[in-house]
Amino acid sequence: MPAGRNEIGNTTAIILVNGTKLKDINLPQATEVVGPRVIDFGDELKTGTNEIAIQRAGDNSAMQTNVITSYYVPWAQSEATETENFKAGDTRALKLKVDFDRREAKIGEAVTCRVEAERIGFAGYGMMIAEIGLPPGVEVDRESLEKAKQNGVDGYEVQPDKVVFYLWPSAGGSHFQFMFRPRFGMNAMSAPSILYDYYNPEANAAVVPIGFSVQ
């Protein structure tokens, strides 16, 4: 929450959404320690690009505002694609391909997941993270994960809904595979798979969840 001027008395700011006034808010004094103000925009937002402005009338002092948003995007309307995705950037691009050798399996039957991850224009950049989504209730083969470390994988971490791989970029990318086995019958979706730079997770190449049928 930005502070008001160093003078006695409250100052106010106006929140505008797409040019329309939403509400007035009281700003704290410069000496006050306060938490964030939570404001629900509700129906004021529209599909597509929205403009949010914070104005103070007759106040020329500096003001810093941090706006944090949370929202849901259906997979069908997201940038994620099925099996393979390419995320372009200003100076480099990310490419992720995730392929399961079967989507219908029996309980205890091995499923192999093949992964191709690449940063195109890799020179001078740091580590990448590949999160490969899993269907629920599977047992990941640790031996296959150790073998993956011989093919460009620096490390890994098994989580309930995914395996996180730590990759150092190289020319031609990283190509590796691992196995898992379903422990019970299901008709369920995996978690999504994403590839991103370690320090920039918001810019990522995403692959949509995959459906599995286990009998």
Asked which of 71, 105, 127 is the last residue of a domain, the reply is 71
Distance between CA atoms of 199 and 119, rounded to whole angstroms?
14
Query: Among residues 10, 66, 1, which one has the least CA distance to residue 35?
Result: 1
Residue 113 CA neighbour count, 13 Å, CB half: 27
- 33 and 65, same domain (yes or no): yes
Distance between CA atoms of 27 and 5, rounded to whole angstroms?
9
The pLDDT of residue 177 is 96
**Looking at 117-121, 163-167, 210-214, which range is the least confident one?**
117-121
* Six-digit token string for 98: 């995730």
Distance between CA atoms of 135 and 113, rounded to whole angstroms?
12
The pLDDT of residue 154 is 92
- 62 and 105, same domain (yes or no): no
Say yes or no to pLDDT of 39 above 70: yes
The pLDDT of residue 117 is 93
- Place 143 in a pLDDT band, splitting at 50, 70 and 90: very high
- For 107, list phi and psi in degrees, rounded to 5: -60, 130
> For position 187, which CATH number holds?
2.60.40.690
How many domains would you assign to the chain? 2
Q: Can you tell me the mean pLDDT for 46-71? A: 75
The pLDDT of residue 62 is 64
The whole domain housing 109 covers: 75-214
- 112 and 61, same domain (yes or no): no
- 133 and 186, same domain (yes or no): yes
